[in-house]
Amino acid sequence: MGNDQRVLTEEKIGIFEEKKAALMAMAGEKMVRKQHELGKLTARERVNLFFDPGSFQEVQLFVKHRSTLFGLGEKEIPADGVITGFGRINGRTVFAAAQDFTSAGGSLGEMHAKKIWKVMDMALSARKPFVSLNDSGGARIQEGVPSLEGYGGIFYRNTIGSGYIPQITAIMGPTAGGAVYSPALTDWVFMVKKSSFMYITGPDVIKAVIGEEVSHDDLGGANTHATKSGVCHFATESDEDCLAKIRTLLSYLPDSCHSPLPIAPGTDSPDRECPELDAIIPDRTNRAYDMKRVIAAVADGGVMFEPHELWAKNMVVTFIRVMGLPVGVIANNPKFNAGVLDVQASDKASRFIRFCDAFNIPLLTFSDVPGYMPGTHQEWAGIISHGAKLLHAYSEATVPKITVVTRKDYGGAYIAMCSKHLGADYVMAWPSAEIAVMGAEGACNIIYRKEIAAAPDPAGKRAELVRSYEEQFNNPYFAAGLGMIEEIIRPRDTRRRIVTLLEALRDKTEVRLPKKHNNIPL
């Protein structure tokens, strides 16, 4: 190579390095400092923290917007306000897009959206998870309709990828208007307390239209969506905490619906007993206990990773591992509203069941449920259709399904909590189980109404009949005699049985009727 050619090559490389460095600096020190003052990391800091060190490969760094309206022709937006690419999380490939709030507020325009489309398409083709780190002022108004087209293309890809690859969204700043629908279409939504919010319509518009005054945080902050709406699955303490928890979630998930489950190294024993479970059920049926203690006892090392921890607390959904295998757990929690099924609990469980089934994660159900929540509020809120979602989700699922009845299991709620009739592969019950149409007192008040009314001592007669009913039905033996449960076990043996069953059902296959798709009662 001649000296002139070498100089020319070095000059071009120098120009490239200069241009790249300018883009890597985002909108400059002043905007980066402002981002930090808001308690937020920059998009590049997030990407570097999220992926295994040195593994991130950026895609389309040099893409620029092409709009000339409203002065945009003279405005530079580094990387068009979004960092896209792929890297490794604990050695596994993951695709991601991180909006850069320092550059035009991370606003979404035509080319910004097309960069996101590109990595989403790559994720789908490669059958790898996609993670979106949202921090944006919304649509780039100056670009007009192409911004809306951009959102539409993202929504379409979210939908096409649903149940095919895991999709996760982290709300790490503002997300408003049309931007909220992509998170809602993904599988899991993380939010950061105090620095992130999402809503369809902001506080100013709400005040102008209906006269209601509300803060950004009260309207759409992490705590609001984690406790009231259920839109947020994980409310995290900081950007760092958020990214760490996403990494943890990914460790439970396969790359796609066609990929094997990630098996963690075994650190627990398959023969471990849980003697604490023998004494966990209170001596009176109207007393509560915390079902999470049961789940933790069964899980490897007592570790749970729980979505929706703060919403619909009468229902628990959580990921655990059993001999390293990811398992999805659904359980009533008697500690809250007696573990009753209501609209929110039904929705919470149904969505989790369908996610686990889509990605071949076995389902383990712990049932202690007195029934569905009665009253006009629940009826008018549609408990019939919402409760039907739970029936549909369990019946539709073809993964291994194991059910353990710990105490109450009454009426329609008994059916709904993965009874044998909804396709449970194996149903076990503790000796404390009460499987019946309803509780003893309610049943006797109906069946023996006339006898009780005619008795010289109605209260005494009722108590006598209740005791008789409990002896006959408020136990697991009647159901076991009919083959509705496979086995009655000591509570301490629960983990050992589950280990054995998961191994036995590992290669379960179930073929369903050929059709386009189910019509779940939404």
In the structure encoding, which two tokens stand for residue 244, read together? 């760490």
Q: How confident is the model at residue 204, as a pLDDT?
A: 86
Q: β-pairing, 174-176 with 167-171? A: unpaired
C-alpha 204/C-alpha 215 separation (Å) is 9
Task: Provide DSSP, 226-275.
Answer: IIII---SEEESSHHHHHHHHHHHHHHS-SSTTSPPPPPPP-S-TT---G
Place of tokens 């991180």: 98
Q: How confident is the model at residue 163, as a pLDDT?
A: 98
The residues that are catalytic are: 177-178, 412-413
The percent of the chain in helix, strand and coil, each rounded to the nearest 5, is 45, 15, 35
SS3 label, residue 276: helix
C-alpha neighbours within 13 Å on the C-beta side of residue 391:
14
> Residue 85: beta bridge partners?
58, 96
Residue 54's alpha-carbon distances to 88, 122, 283, 350, 384, in angstroms, are 9, 20, 57, 39, 52
C-alpha 239/C-alpha 192 separation (Å) is 6
Q: How confident is the model at residue 450, as a pLDDT?
A: 81
Q: Where are the alpha helices (DSSP H) in 25-104?
A: 29-37, 43-50
Task: Provide DSSP, 140-166.
Answer: -GGG-HHHHHHHHHHHHHHHHHTTTS-
Q: Which amino acid is at 172?
A: M
Is residue 116 within 8 A of residue 86, CB to CB? The reply is no
Domain 27-252 coded CATH 3.90.226.10: yes
Q: How confident is the model at residue 2, as a pLDDT?
A: 59
Fold matches, 27-252 and 275-437+475-504? yes
Work out the burial of residue 512: count CB atoms within 10 Å of its CB; fewer than 13 is exposed, 13-18 middle, 19 or more buried: exposed
> Residue 367: beta bridge partners?
405
- What are the residue ranges spanned by the domains of the chain? 27-252, 275-437+475-504, 440-473
Question: Which residues have a Cβ under 8 Å from the Cβ of 505 and sit 6 or more positions away?
Answer: 362, 400, 402, 425, 426
**Domain 275-437+475-504 class in CATH:** alpha beta
Residue 505's alpha-carbon distances to 298, 327, 402, 508, in angstroms, are 18, 13, 10, 5
Q: How confident is the model at residue 26, as a pLDDT?
A: 79
Ramachandran quadrant class, 338 (left: phi over 0; alpha: psi -120 to 50; beta: rest):
left
Task: Provide DSSP, 452-464.
Answer: HHHSSSHHHHHHH
Would you give per-residue pLDDT tens digits along the chain (522 residues)?
556 667 778 888 988 888 888 888 877 888 999 999 999 999 999 999 999 999 999 999 988 877 767 777 778 888 889 999 999 999 999 999 999 999 888 888 889 999 999 999 999 999 999 999 999 988 887 888 888 899 999 999 999 999 999 999 999 999 988 889 999 999 999 999 999 999 988 888 888 999 899 998 999 999 999 999 999 999 999 999 999 999 999 999 999 999 999 999 988 999 999 999 999 999 888 899 999 999 999 999 999 999 999 999 999 999 999 999 999 999 999 999 999 999 999 999 999 999 999 999 999 999 999 989 989 999 999 999 999 999 999 999 999 999 999 999 988 999 999 999 999 999 999 999 988 887 777 777 888 788 888 888 878 878 877 788 777 777 899 889 999 999 999 999 999 999 999 999 999 999 899 999 999 998
In the structure encoding, which two tokens stand for residue 151, read together? 């959102």
